[in-house]
Amino acid sequence: MNNPLRANIALTLERERARRGLSHMHMAELFRTAEGEKLAYRTYIQTVRQKNNVTLTTLQIMANGLQVSFAGLLAGSKKVPDWAHRLDDNAIRRRLAHIIDFERQRRNLHRYEMAELIGVAEATYMKLERASGNISVDTIAAIAKALKLDPATFLFSEKNPPGKADTSSPTSVPKGL
């Protein structure tokens, strides 16, 4: 799959590595969880090479380690609103859930029909709609493609109306970066 999100993430990681003057090994050392576990070097290298389907949880570890925004990792050089830089992986899940539910209702589709449209199993769709599970960037890109939206920016678009539980609206300040 030609995924612009993978390319944006890889570019951002390489740009940050060059800016900091770090080797790949030292760059990978920056990625530790709150529990002190580090992200596998192999995961980092495969992400830089665009060879793995990185998940939101892994991206949050990378964003935290680099002290960059989650939106910046996904959007790359594309402009996103200032509020989007404060989103974390949970806010992204909630925002994605709201967008797919909004689009499903706008298109007057049943859940199984929306699952078919975005190319996921119905059980996976239900997890997406509930903002649960560890969503991958390939899934996000596939959803954007099916909805004919830009994968790098649709999660941060102010055209997508915020939902009641969506803390990513410009008037609120979500937890995270």
Domain boundaries, the chain: 4-78, 86-156
Domains 4-78 and 86-156 agree in fold: yes
Q: For residues 58 and 43, give the distance between their C-alpha atoms in angstroms, rounded to a whole number.
A: 9
Q: Mention every residue, 6+ apart, whose C-beta is less than 8 A from residue 164.
A: none
Q: Tell me how far apart the alpha carbons of residues 92 and 98 are, in angstroms, rounded to a whole number.
A: 10
- Homologous superfamily of the 4-78 domain (CATH): lambda repressor-like DNA-binding domains (1.10.260.40)
Lowest mean pLDDT, pick from 6-15, 75-84, 167-176: 167-176
Dihedral Cα 57, 155, 99, 94, nearest 10 deg: 30
DSSP 175: S
pLDDT at 166 over 80: no
CATH class assigned to 86-156: mainly alpha
Mean pLDDT score, 89-108? 95
Q: Tell if the pTM clears 0.75, that is, is over it.
A: yes
Q: How many CB atoms lie within 10 A of CB 119?
A: 13
Tokens of 14: 């390489």
